[in-house]
Amino acid sequence: MVAVMSTHTRLCQVVPLLPVSRAYTYRIPSGLSPRIDEGSRVVVPVGSREVVGVVVGWDGEEQVRIKEVQGVLDPEPALLPGVLDLTRRASQYYLEPWGLYLRCSLPPGLRKGRGPVVPMTRWVVYAGPSPQLPTRRQRELLNRLESVREVPLRTVIAEWGYGKGVVDRLVAAGWITVEERESHGPLPFPLSPPQPPLRLTPEQEEAFRRVENALGDFTPFLLYGVTGSGKTELYLQWGQRCMEEGMGFLLLIPEIALTPQYISRFTARFGERVGVLHSALSPKDRLREWLRIRGGEARVVLGTRSALFAPVDGLGLIVVDEEHDPSFKQEETPVYNARDMALVRGQIEGCPVVLASATPSLESFYNAQKNKYAMLTLSKRVGTPMARVRVVDMGQEEGIFSKAFLHGLRGALKDGGQALVLLNRRGYAAFLLCPKCGETVRCPNCDITLTLHREPLLLRCHYCGYSKPPLDRCKHCGSEMRAVGLGIQRVEEELARSFPEARIDRMDRDALRSRQAHWEVLRKVEEGYTDILLGTQMIAKGHHYPRISFVGVVLADVALHLPDFRAAERTFQILTQVVGRAGRGGRGMAVIQTFMPTHPSVVWAARQDYLSFAAEELERRRALGYPPFSHMARILVTGTNEDRVEDGANKVAGLLRRGAEGMVVLGPAPAPLYRVRNQYRRHIILKGKRKALLLNLARLPRRVGGVHVKVDMDPYSML
């Protein structure tokens, strides 16, 4: 509807949940005015359709032709002021549409034009004596109700065996009432038996007190604690302190696979006051959890990166566990780094933020060195020594497993322990190769070879999902094709051959096909049904299983040769983290197999010496001008026409160089993955010491010469 505004009509600013970066002005009909506030979900016309939007502010009174708000979807604002401000700042920093960040902050069930789908349950409530005398069957039901006072109607009918007619006659007589009540249903996770707090070590006590004293003010902390030093117990006790002060607590974790142990430990301490948000929940469960958090029923919230936007009112503390993990960076639109934005939310809410890791990102560690973050240190394991680590040069060995690897694994299983085996590469083999003419089997959509899988037997692209049956013979020369490179399915096969009595489970994206599969695997490990847990990097972090006495890294070099300035840092982190899983219940050992035994990432990881690695790697970064000694943005130009992509990238680079005083513009150059999903890709790297200038320079048009331009602030992937 279009109306001419009067000088006394209230206007509001609305951002639709669409790829838009600006707010639009709408008139509020008089009947809706008292029900609308900032953060309210409203239905507004955009073009010829009606969409959901969020009210983000108010306009002054002016005479213009303007459309009306068509409806309000909630009795109170869906988004808290702090979350609303966070989405605005994320949009401004990452140069992505505000509407998509608002969309991220709502569960799927609230992104469409209807109110919250709140499940309702009918309850039978005992009302007391009535002039009308009940029958025998009615008296039986009343006797049961008199003791419990109220019970769900489905319990009365399905479990107690009373017909609906009996209930209706008691309602008519005034003995009972039937009420409709909100029902969030069963929790989407199990509750653990209560557990009391553990006694803190002196280092833990010092860290606890420093954060406790900062409650109520924004203070960024870096908690550097070696693996097994008791960081999780600190989170629990900080959460308890927040609860005692009437504050909310938010813990961000990097992987869904970590949630079972966290849920177990947190529900053992806080029961149903725990809320959980992550993408493995069904849409229905995500909505229910979001509503429990928004309504204040869940005050201790755990979740992966999207839980950054959780509607925790009165937030007292945010903890980002494994803060170094690249999983906190969302690469798809809208881009954001949950670790960095957690600091922004802490600033908005006026609460401390603790970034925690055994292997902190070099950016965070450097900020602590420069006193931008307060440093907390846990230098010792709680109760057990660090694992013994041996590095094996695979250039001197034959086969997949070295003698030291097999000896250590065999000894652990013989002693009744469990083993963790890591290879961060999916599939059975890296690719198929013709040894005679060098031909490989490549993806028709991407600039990459197809990975050989055995379950099922397919060649598969891990970027676009294309698959085809493997070739026995080269289509050019007819020679027999050979599988080259090592994948995790091949390692599983070899482990089963070498240890036929061992019970082996695998954790990688191909093995975990259902939403709850990772829960089942980790449950089997915890309960001792698994002897060897084999997996990719998802098994390397956060898990605490005291019976794991041996860790084996099949090949440490998988990521070292990637064209990425963070390759050495990531290799060190994953090696240190996985080695840290060993020996938490006593003595443990680890074997790292590598073709590069003298590489600093391998050497310092074997010694579990983060400080020495950080000092050496920071000097290398300083010499090359990489973060944390500069700020970076990656401009990715993509399109289906190779010539247009090249021309578009050259035009973008020209635009950047014209205003790049004090900045370094590298490229354009073909991206390491030059073609993905039939999109040709060229990139340009911006580096500079002034973040404000970098942000201003990166405000580019999103279409140039028929190709797409994407800006990635603080890039984590250079591929």
* 614, part of any domain: yes
Read off the pLDDT of residues 127-175 as tens digits, 9 standing for 90 and up.
888 778 788 888 888 888 887 778 888 778 877 888 888 888 899 888 8
Helix 610-624 / helix 567-579 crossing angle, nearest 10 deg? 170
Beta pairing class for 631-639 and 548-553:
unpaired
* 654, part of any domain: yes
Place 248 in a pLDDT band, splitting at 50, 70 and 90.
Answer: very high
Read off the pLDDT of residues 114-140 as tens digits, 9 standing for 90 and up.
766 666 678 888 888 877 878 888 888
Nearest alpha carbon to residue 86 among 314, 290, 348, 317:
348
585 vs 203, 214, 230, 550, CA distance in Å?
Answer: 21, 34, 13, 11
Question: Under a CB-based contact definition with an 8 Å cutoff, are residues 148 and 125 in contact?
Answer: no
Return the structure tokens found at 669.
């150059």
If asked whether residues 6 and 131 sit together in one domain, one would say: no
666 vs 414, 653, 676, CA distance in Å?
Answer: 55, 9, 22
Read off the pLDDT of residues 363-407 as tens digits, 9 standing for 90 and up.
999 999 999 999 999 999 887 888 899 999 999 998 899 999 999
Rg (CA), the chain: 29
Total domains in the chain come to: 5
Q: What is the pTM of this model?
A: 0.88
pLDDT of residue 5 exceeding 50: no
* 189, part of any domain: no
If asked whether residues 591 and 503 sit together in one domain, one would say: yes
The one-character DSSP state at 56 is E
Beta pairing class for 418-422 and 532-535:
parallel
Query: Which neighbouring-strand residues pair with 150?
Result: 125
Kindly give the residue spans of alpha helices, DSSP state H, lying in 589-715: 600-606, 610-624, 642-658, 691-697
If asked whether residues 362 and 510 sit together in one domain, one would say: no
Element (H, E) at 671: strand 663-676
Read off the pLDDT of residues 340-371 as tens digits, 9 standing for 90 and up.
999 999 999 999 999 999 999 999 999 999 99
pLDDT of residue 322 exceeding 80: yes
Return the structure tokens found at 229.
């030093």
pLDDT of residue 182 exceeding 90: no
* 440, part of any domain: no
* 455, part of any domain: no
* 449, part of any domain: no
3-state secondary structure of 465: coil
* 435, part of any domain: no
pLDDT of the residue at 1: 37
pLDDT of the residue at 2: 38
If asked whether residues 39 and 57 sit together in one domain, one would say: yes
Which domain range does residue 59 map to? 2-110
If asked whether residues 618 and 499 sit together in one domain, one would say: yes
Q: Return mean pLDDT, the chain.
A: 89
Q: Which residue, of 591, 623, 655, is where some domain finishes?
A: 623
If asked whether residues 403 and 545 sit together in one domain, one would say: yes
Q: Which residue, of 153, 182, 211, is where some domain finishes?
A: 182
If asked whether residues 228 and 311 sit together in one domain, one would say: yes
Rounded Cα distance, 143 and 139, in Å: 6
Residues 687, 693, 696: CA angle, nearest 5 degrees? 110
Rounded Cα distance, 40 and 34, in Å: 12
pLDDT of the residue at 209: 98
* 193, part of any domain: no
